[in-house]
Structure 1
Amino acid sequence: MRATWPAEAHAAAGGRAWLYDFTWSSPAFGGALGACHTVDIPATFGHARGPLSGFLFGGKPPSQDFTRLSEQLRSSWISFAASGDPGGPPFTADRPTTRVRDVEPTLAEDPLPASRRIWRKNSGL
């Protein structure tokens, strides 16, 4: 929700916003880490070697699925840096679209509605 609320506010003020949720699961420890914090860093920078990558990949080379996902994610970031548009539909109040980044990237509208309701209720916003 910490990324969703600024996107909502920016879109409501007339700006363009895009959201993505990185859901690719680390294979380390038999998959126990899941889509943990920092798992997106090797994908974002295309860096599959080094201590963090080694830990997140369980000491093995990354899969072809991960390599393809990394290429797609980096292409999106490059497009955003060059043009202000990462590709795909923007997030709007009427259509809260989020790109779900996984082996097979998808688009989802409001992918975490229960979480959104809980945060709204408990935050007072």
Structure 2
Amino acid sequence: MPTTVQSRIFHLLIDLIPELGGEGSRTRFAPPRVEGDMAVHCTIDERTDGHLEVEIAHDQHESRGRAQSWICFDVDPLHQSARVTRFQEGCHYSVASPHTDAQSARVNLYAANWLAVFHNLGRVFEPVECLEHA
């Protein structure tokens, strides 16, 4: 059982993004299940330090000038941890410090709770290639 917020985030990302560290698709999508449901897009990029950068974004088809919500994670597969590096929710933009200050703790806790809700709703990011042929 994960004991830190960063390990909770890591394990939730593993649950939501099958084959996160594998050779699978680096572009994923969680389509809306019912009308009015949130569609969410995910990209995974490898960094030179062995970490992964994961960006999850609300895919709004008709945003009409509204800011898109998104969140970026630094994922460390070796230490099974992940932390928020930056995010935008509505008009609020934040950069989470790599240090363990109060602001980054709040941002990481927010992200862990958001991912848990997304997971509890049964959402999973599927490779975009699978959705194109469905």
- Say whether the fold is shared (TM-score over 0.5): no
TM-score (norm 1): 0.29
TM-score (norm 2): 0.27
* Greater helix fraction, Structure 1 or Structure 2: 1
* Greater strand fraction, Structure 1 or Structure 2: 2
Max Rg structure: 1
